[in-house]
Chain A
């Protein structure tokens, strides 16, 4: 039914096209018209070397200008400073060939293209050029038969120019505070010769609150950025925002957190409101490395959970959203990302590093709720330094086996205690899946730094945390799904994507300060490894989705826990 509906919709496109065409189908074939015109124009232009028939540029010979050959073959072993056009001709490039400009070949093979040097673009067209010769110049015969421009060039050109559209896009994961946040507004992107620029200007509509008559809760998110340089360069940007952000987003992806909330009423994140603006500058090197520094002026406010819709378990109450600090802060942030993974979705090798440093200075208007009440001296002024580091290494042991390692560390570096919004936990399926997420346990909870009594919503309270994860993966050489052929879907054979996984995790959080207090250590102390929570487990990873079973080791009484992850664990 679904497929039929989609195909019916698809069918409307050609039907609309055909309605504008004559009854008889016109045959349009041959070279695109602009290629014909370009090829003939290049051939007719003054050239340092123009010839009809077999042509050879010997090694050591230097052609200062363009080369145009008709009905070759053309053999190049020397140097051409201009461009080369070969019409109805093969081109043979010797390893010593050096062409500074473009090479355009119409109907012909190009041999040796990988060994020779071509400074410009190489284009090869397989369809024949029909031409006539008048007064010594080439004329296109029957120029009206082809397309105006190559079909793929049309798409390419459209993208390279610029783009703008009204965007309706999710502004983050579905959650118990906003429901689904939606960015609604214009988006503009412009590609220019030295870089690119983009501007997004969105209203943020929240399905849980924006449509209520008594609480018309609509945010905004305006972001402009200019990048100067292609492969590498620098960037500047500015942002104005009134958004709801998670306190910790490193454990699960947006998609996992959103689906878990929308389907099962399990929200693994906590949220607070950010209202303010920021400016940033940075440098980038391709897609692999980016370093940015930003300055922001922000107001932070607590948010409460709302009765957001879910597909299942709708009779169960949401976990409270912890009461965050209300504060006005000036933030200086530095962020470094280095990503050398062979594939972002399915990496076999490479590094991923994300490092962040933040200094916050301002004042707290009202304190959020933690298990142990806090006090702030004087007028509530606050200055803190905080760091975060996520390092992953992907290693291929053999063609079908892999050992991946990850270390995540974060915490207070100096100044006053961290605000609630900047505290840490090592909890849940993204960190220590062998332990139940935010559940009351006897004794101290080193995953969230909660003593015997938890604050509403069971907030993350740690000043510092450290987590290490390791997994061994081995290909099963079969998979869950296969497209099969005309007979439809077949089981098995996901082209080597499926793997069995053996994993282990160890981590904990702690507080910094008076070491006589529970879970509290000195500023230069890392808790003993024996105090860390540990688990291990096995799973089947089908690339898109993985099913796992984890067992706590440090607390053997905990039952084994099954969980599902989209994509890989990390």
Chain B
């Protein structure tokens, strides 16, 4: 039995890198020395490639991508977060027009990319590097960026939460303690649902450490 477990763990570890290469990814690229690039670029690939997500979208449930970029300064003992930026991308399939609609919101800026007849069009918007004006404040200090992406396929019960999500408000607008069924789901149930094809994915990616000019 123990040998079986060890074997399973070994197989798991062996398969993991290959599996990871086939999946979605989040990327963050340091700003170049070009003055026209005021900050790092962030993009995500294959975020909508999952068959389960596509099925949900084709049935009218939007996919929500919440990006957060953090600028960290390395310290003597502790690293410190110097600044953050957050933005959201929402993708919805409109069965009436048979188009995928994409909108990006960052603070008071809204960019409606319109409709795309194929999912690849919407995916291309997400895969396009998005430059974030997040630059170090202290010259000659060591920094790195940490990009975080949460992807959610919204279910019917989540639609109410969508509006405040669009407002950038991630805290519950109404401080109820949650549906009793979702209380279960949010624990072990949520874990199991993620194993079975999940409803939320979390990605983190760090840039190399660099010295601020």
Chain A residues with a Cβ under 8 A of chain B: 2-3, 7, 10-11, 13-14, 17-18, 21, 25-29, 113-115, 118, 120-127, 150-152, 155-160, 163, 167-172, 180, 182-183, 187, 189, 196, 198, 200, 254-256, 258-259, 262-263, 287, 342-343, 348-350, 395-400, 403, 478, 481-497, 543-545, 566
| B10-30 near A? 1/0 per residue, CB < 8 Å | 001101110110111010000
CA A22 – CA B180 in complex, angstroms? 41
Residues on A with C-beta less than 8 A from B175 are: 198
Residues on A with C-beta less than 8 A from B7 are: none
Chain B residues with a Cβ under 8 A of chain A: 12-13, 15-17, 19-20, 22-24, 26, 38-39, 46, 49-52, 55-56, 58-61, 70, 72, 74, 77-81, 84, 90, 92, 94-99, 101, 103, 105, 108-115, 133, 144, 146, 148, 159-160, 162-164, 166-167, 171, 173-180, 183-184, 186-188, 190-191, 194-198, 201-206, 209
- Is A349 touching B146 in the complex (CB atoms < 8 A)? no
- Is B163 touching A170 in the complex (CB atoms < 8 A)? no
Q: With contacts A122-B110, A489-B195 known, what are 20 further pairs, Cβ within 8 A?
A: A10-B56, A10-B61, A29-B97, A124-B110, A170-B179, A189-B173, A342-B81, A399-B72, A399-B146, A481-B195, A482-B20, A483-B52, A484-B19, A485-B51, A489-B196, A489-B197, A491-B12, A492-B19, A496-B205, A566-B187
Residues on A with C-beta less than 8 A from B159 are: 155
Say whether, besides A152-B103, A163-B160, A484 and B108 are in contact (CB < 8 Å): no
Residue of chain A at shortest CB distance from B72: A396
Nearest chain B CB to A492 CB, angstrom units = 2
Residues on B with C-beta less than 8 A from A495 are: 26, 201-205
Picked from B51, B110, B144, B187, the residue with its CB within 8 Å of the CB of A123 is B110
Residues on B with C-beta less than 8 A from A3 are: 52, 196-197
Contacts between the two chains (Cβ within 8 Å), count? 242
CA A398 – CA B194 in complex, angstroms? 29
CA A156 – CA B159 in complex, angstroms? 11
- Is B96 touching A28 in the complex (CB atoms < 8 A)? yes
Nearest chain B CB to A322 CB, angstrom units = 24
- Is A397 touching B177 in the complex (CB atoms < 8 A)? no
- Is B196 touching A493 in the complex (CB atoms < 8 A)? no
Interface of B is mostly: mixed
Residues on B with C-beta less than 8 A from A494 are: 202
- Is A398 touching B171 in the complex (CB atoms < 8 A)? no
- Is A180 touching B23 in the complex (CB atoms < 8 A)? no
Residues on B with C-beta less than 8 A from A113 are: 109
CA A544 – CA B198 in complex, angstroms? 13
Residue of chain A at shortest CB distance from B208: A399
- Is B179 touching A483 in the complex (CB atoms < 8 A)? no
A-B contact pairs, 12 of them (CB 8 A): A10-B61, A13-B59, A26-B96, A120-B108, A121-B108, A123-B109, A127-B114, A159-B164, A170-B179, A399-B146, A486-B49, A497-B204
Residue of chain B at shortest CB distance from A486: B51
Picked from B61, B133, B146, the residue with its CB within 8 Å of the CB of A115 is B133
- Is B180 touching A122 in the complex (CB atoms < 8 A)? no
Residue of chain A at shortest CB distance from B108: A121
Residues on A with C-beta less than 8 A from B70 are: 342, 348
Residues on A with C-beta less than 8 A from B12 are: 491-492
Nearest chain B CB to A100 CB, angstrom units = 13
- Is B194 touching A481 in the complex (CB atoms < 8 A)? yes
- Is B180 touching A150 in the complex (CB atoms < 8 A)? no
- Is A483 touching B197 in the complex (CB atoms < 8 A)? yes
Residues on B with C-beta less than 8 A from A487 are: 22
Nearest chain A CB to B132 CB, angstrom units = 8
